[in-house]
Amino acid sequence: MKFTELNIAGCYRAESPVWGDDRGFFREWFKGADFATTGIVFDTQQANLSFSARNVVRGLHYSLAPEGQAKAVTCVGGDLVDVLVDIRVGSPTFGRVELVELSAAQGTTVVLATGVAHGFCVTSETASLAYLLSSPYNPTMELEIHPFDAEINVPWPLDGDALLSPKDAAAPTLAQRRASNELPTYL
């Protein structure tokens, strides 16, 4: 795997080869040994899979789990745009937004540092995103910020109305989370 640091401190794009023929393709999207050579410590504790329709926007989600929660994500069906937002208090890249196009046919994995908010938008008819998490889901520590917060101003690539969960539609803004001391700290 080839790792390239994104514009958000501690976040990476990992590229791996895709071997295809008339039957389909094969690719490796996570190799612990390759992660270790970059200094990224990633101890997988949970794996998730999300399936969504066109114009579904999920996020912006993050965790305040005391042990932290890094993520490695890749598209395993369809196409989507993955969104990272640095909301870590004290981070040199606080407030930065990074969009990464992901497709099942590409060999791209996005690695999110602990405390970076995550979301995505489906740009094909349907898409599936696979997640590896460095800590298990903890409902009392999982938070969200409204995906259309004007302060963050994510340029979601929609071709129609956004489809949001009720929880995401009712999520507080970044300013509200900041005022409530509900943002992660940069480590």
DSSP, res 11: -
pLDDT of residue 37: 81
Q: If you average pLDDT over residues 143-166, what whole number do you get?
A: 98
Residue tagged 């970076």 (tokens): 116
Assess if CATH 3.40.309.10 describes domain 2-136+143-179.
no
What sign for the dihedral angle of Cα 87, 93, 95, 96? negative
pLDDT of residue 56: 98
Asked whether residue 35 carries a pLDDT value surpassing 90, the answer given is: no
Asked whether residue 134 carries a pLDDT value surpassing 80, the answer given is: yes
d(Cα 147, Cα 164) in Å, to the nearest integer? 9
Q: Where are the domains positioned within the chain?
A: 2-136+143-179
d(Cα 93, Cα 21) in Å, to the nearest integer? 41
Residues 74-121 pLDDT 10s: 999 999 999 999 999 999 999 999 999 999 999 999 999 999 999 999
pLDDT of residue 187: 83
Number of H helices, E strands in the chain: 3, 13
Q: If you average pLDDT over residues 162-166, what whole number do you get?
A: 98
Residue 39 — very low, low, confident or very high, per pLDDT cuts 50/70/90?
A: confident
Residues 41-75 pLDDT 10s: 789 999 999 999 999 999 999 999 999 999 999 99
Contact 60, 117 (CB under 8 A): yes
Residues 11-31 pLDDT 10s: 999 999 999 999 998 999 999
d(Cα 12, Cα 40) in Å, to the nearest integer? 10
Please state the pTM of the whole predicted model.
0.95
Q: Tell me which residues are annotated as active site.
A: 61, 131
d(Cα 72, Cα 132) in Å, to the nearest integer? 5
pLDDT of residue 113: 94
Cβ within 8 Å of residue 16, ≥6 positions away: 1, 2, 27, 28, 29, 31, 107, 109
45 token code pair: 């504790």
8 token code pair: 């958000």
157 token code pair: 């690539």
105 token code pair: 């046919």
